[in-house]
Amino acid sequence: MGKLDGKMALVTGGARGIGRAIAFAFAHEGAAVAVLDMRKDDAEAAAREISGLNVNTIAVAADVGDEAQVRSAVDKVGEAFGRVDILVNNAGIDTTSQVVEMSTEMWDEMIRVNLRSIFLCTRAVLPGMLQRKWGRIINMSSQLAHKGAADMAHYAAAKAGVLGFTRSLAYEVAREGITVNAICPGPIDTELFRNIPEAWRKRKLAELPIGRAGTVDEIAPTAVMLASDEGSYYIGASLNPNGGDVMI
């Protein structure tokens, strides 16, 4: 028996990195998994691999910052699975710039992908969860939401907004059988992290008490716990697998 047997999960940004690890971890625990990603080929490849674990799966391509695409994607998942029990808002981007040099376009794109998307995806699945009186919403934030970072004001602001959204929504829906929580990873060895300028990465890793980046498999178990019955008393929480970058 898996911890998520019979559950239907939607993981955004599920084709790569942390999202992919969470999608596979959910499948190992018996959940049907919808892999949503902008890259259609990558989403389909991940879904094919997940199907090898003898669970139902579907690949959906969508830009999570686009309202119409989000609604269409959630409709497709609903047609395939009948419902969404678990939503992991994982899709995101990462860029660097000092504020004085940052373009309005860079700021707006960060907010669109890393914060607006969480609102759009959550709003799309929430009516069904409220009707069924059960749901799990897991939002991917960052340890930088707590401490900030030079050259990443836009990223830290978006991720801090995720925490504010998480806590506020938790107040709205906790008594309806829905938990809403956030995960705040530290530096994780993913394509996203590797694309950050090397000097910034080296500086950040040198700050960590553990002395290294984490792996995606060190984050996925936190998502499994929050998605399962074991996470039923976590409400509006921010869990921090971050290598000691923020100790709270």
Question: Which residues are the active-site residues?
Answer: 155
Alpha-carbon span 3 to 25, nearest angstrom: 10
Cβ 182 vs Cβ 163: under 8 Å:
yes
Please, what is the end-to-end C-alpha distance for the chain in angstroms?
Answer: 34
* Count of other CB atoms within 10 angstroms of residue 193: 19
Alpha-carbon span 21 to 221, nearest angstrom: 9
Alpha-carbon span 6 to 187, nearest angstrom: 33
Cβ 173 vs Cβ 180: under 8 Å:
yes
Q: Residues near 98 by Cβ (< 8 Å), separated by ≥ 6?
A: 150, 151
- At residue 25, the 3 state secondary structure works out as helix
Alpha-carbon span 124 to 81, nearest angstrom: 15
The DSSP bridge partners found for residue 162 are none
Using CA atoms in the order 165, 171, 173, 178, what is the torsion angle rounded to 10 degrees? 80
Cβ 179 vs Cβ 223: under 8 Å:
no
50: left (phi over 0), alpha (psi -120 to 50) or beta: alpha
